[in-house]
Structure 1
């Protein structure tokens, strides 16, 4: 892995793709553990278009040693150094016949245990008993997300579409995108590979058109210490 190249891509484009972080056997183990999980909790969402598990690492703890294999831990350390910890996790299973899509947006909120009135943090939302709040911009600029792909993914089964460099423009409302100056690219990721992205990168996902599944483990990392009494909802030590 060319560390400098991936760091430069993260700085300039807001994302990078790295192949072969997980072997086929490791991917199979992850899928098997997920399939055994008890899906009766409120953090599980299942429709004909999407199966999602919020607080994934807490709800399915058996996946943790498989998710954080030596390759992933080494990659994160070499790209970002010490100090980053997982603070949010979601599993997305987009079936092959799914019409589910996501319009362009930035990931502007972080998940916390309880709601509290803290200067610079807001507005607030709550979804499936999970509080989310928009933090000050430096927190979002520091954080990064790792998306672990359990299937080959391209533009036909929900690979992210992104606007390179949009993460360097602060809060960027989708309705203000100037397509005369912006360029959209698709981010295909092979099975066992990862996409690393900045939360402020404008991104979207299309409907599936090739009848292939798209299963992704989405983990957000931060090295920020939240001001008391706020606490990360899923902080892993």
Structure 2
């Protein structure tokens, strides 16, 4: 069974065991309306990175006290946002996402550090795969701005899959093939709901069903961490926030 809670006792244990938790009705109607208005300038974009920095009205519209309570319940009292992305899967941008783990972070500079590999530069931002312990200490918070279900490609997760660490290549195929069907959970959500998940949790999404004209599925994706990276490297968005 998925970890579902409107209050937060046992959240840290649930996330440790299942790798995800659903928080129905996390945003009330007024909070949802405020966040939708803040996202209006980019609502038709299918992907905007570093969105809290590029669109500060979105950061101002978020209920940070509520978010902090969630982080505390998850055992991440000192965590800060280290990556922010706005997604919108819709009729014009309707893509398939295969089963995968989130294994990269964004940092402010490239440097030699043990365990930091697969460096890439995307839109001027350094991406790198860090050691597993860095990913294991992170938490992703996904705020739904639209209802998500089977027809418009709600996210699917494999409960407990984060406990096996970083899997690659044939390991991924073997795990997905052998995973019990009961471990796969479709995260049906309403606007204002929140999905919490560990980055190493296997997740995927189908293409939206064209018979429904692929109604939009907007998500505000926020990643949190309290980890200090090897100096002088910093989390890219934390570094931007410090200079703004």
Asked if Structure 1 and Structure 2 have the same fold, meaning a TM-score greater than 0.5 normalized by the shorter chain, the answer is yes
User: Structure 1 regions of 5+ residues with no counterpart?
Assistant: 40-44
Contact 1:97-1:208 within 8 A present in 2 as well? no
Contact 1:145-1:221 within 8 A present in 2 as well? yes
User: Structure 2 regions of 5+ residues with no counterpart?
Assistant: 1-5
Contact 1:96-1:214 within 8 A present in 2 as well? no
Cα distance change on mapping 1:98 and 1:123 into 2, 3 Å: closer
Residue 29, structure 1, aligned to residue 24, structure 2: no
Contact 2:31-2:63 within 8 A present in 1 as well? no
Of 3, 6, 11, 1:6 maps to 11
Corresponding residue SS for 1:200 = coil
Shift of 1:24: 2.4
Shift of 1:190: 1.6
1:179 maps to: 177
Give the alignment's TM-score, normalised by structure 2.
0.86
Cα distance change on mapping 1:232 and 1:99 into 2, 3 Å: same
1:42 maps to: none
User: In the TM superposition, what whole-angstrom CA distance separates every residue of 1:64-116 from its partner, at most 9, and x where no partner exists?
Assistant: 12123432222222322421000000000111464312111100011001111
User: In the TM superposition, what whole-angstrom CA distance separates every residue of 1:116-158 from its partner, at most 9, and x where no partner exists?
Assistant: 1112111112222121111111111111100000011112212
1:134 maps to: 129
**What is the count of residue pairs matched by the alignment?**
227
| RMSD of equivalent CA atoms | 2.0
List structure 1 runs of 4+ shifted beyond 4 angstroms: none
The 10-residue stretch of structure 1 (89-98 or 213-222) with the greater mean CA deviation from structure 2 = 89-98
